[in-house]
Amino acid sequence: MVTIAMVTGFILILMGLYGALTNPNILRMIVSFSIANTGVNIVLVAIGYIQGRTAPILDEAVPVAEAAARIIDPTPQALVLTAIVIGLGVTTLMLTYAYKLYEMKGTLNIAKFSELKW
């Protein structure tokens, strides 16, 4: 279970990085970064999972007294919630800059932006 989630996450990270490094189109690079970001989040959540336990919410199935023995680690979940929100902010900023770049050059091909190239 953990292995499947972690393998999926690692594959998504590699796929996203491959797309970001080989695509010449800026929009496709942004999509690739989002995919890699999702992969990182999946790996982080998978690390908090403990075999045979349930979500960190107390109810009839998880009484307060037994909480420590019945729930999975809540810390990575809180961390990933933060990471998702920040990831969304980063994606929005990338899209905005992509729009400004398009406005400037009329193209989204990264090869045409040669000002910082050496």
Partner 1 sequence: MIKRALVLLFLFALGTLFVELLLTYTPDTQLNQTGRYYAEHSAQDLGTVNITTAIIVTYRGLDTLGEVTVLFLTAAIVGVLLSRGDHKGKSLQRKLPQSGELLTTGSYLLVPLILLLGAYVFINGHLTPGGGFQGGAIIASAILLMLLTDPLRHFSHSIIAAVESISGLFFIGLGVLGIFYAGGFLDNRLLPLGELGSLFSAGVIPIIYSFIGLKVGAEFSSMLVNLSETEDT
Binding residues for partner 1 (CB under 8 A): 2-3, 6-7, 10, 13-14, 17-18, 21-22, 48-51, 55-59, 64, 67-68, 71, 73-75, 77-78, 81-82, 84-86, 88-90, 92-93, 95-97, 99-100, 103
Q: How far apart are CA 74 and CA 54, in angstroms?
A: 11
Burial class (CB in 10 A: 0-12, 13-18, 19+), 73: middle
Six-digit token string for 80: 């990933």
Residue (10 or 113) nearer to partner 1, CB:
10
Six-digit token string for 22: 């080989």
The least distance separating partner 1 from the CB of residue 47, rounded to whole angstroms, comes to: 8
Residue (22 or 109) nearer to partner 1, CB:
22
Residue (21 or 116) nearer to partner 1, CB:
21
Residue 59 DSSP label: S
User: CB neighbours of 64 closer than 8 A, spacing ≥ 6?
Assistant: 58
The least distance separating partner 1 from the CB of residue 52, rounded to whole angstroms, comes to: 9
The least distance separating partner 1 from the CB of residue 9, rounded to whole angstroms, comes to: 9
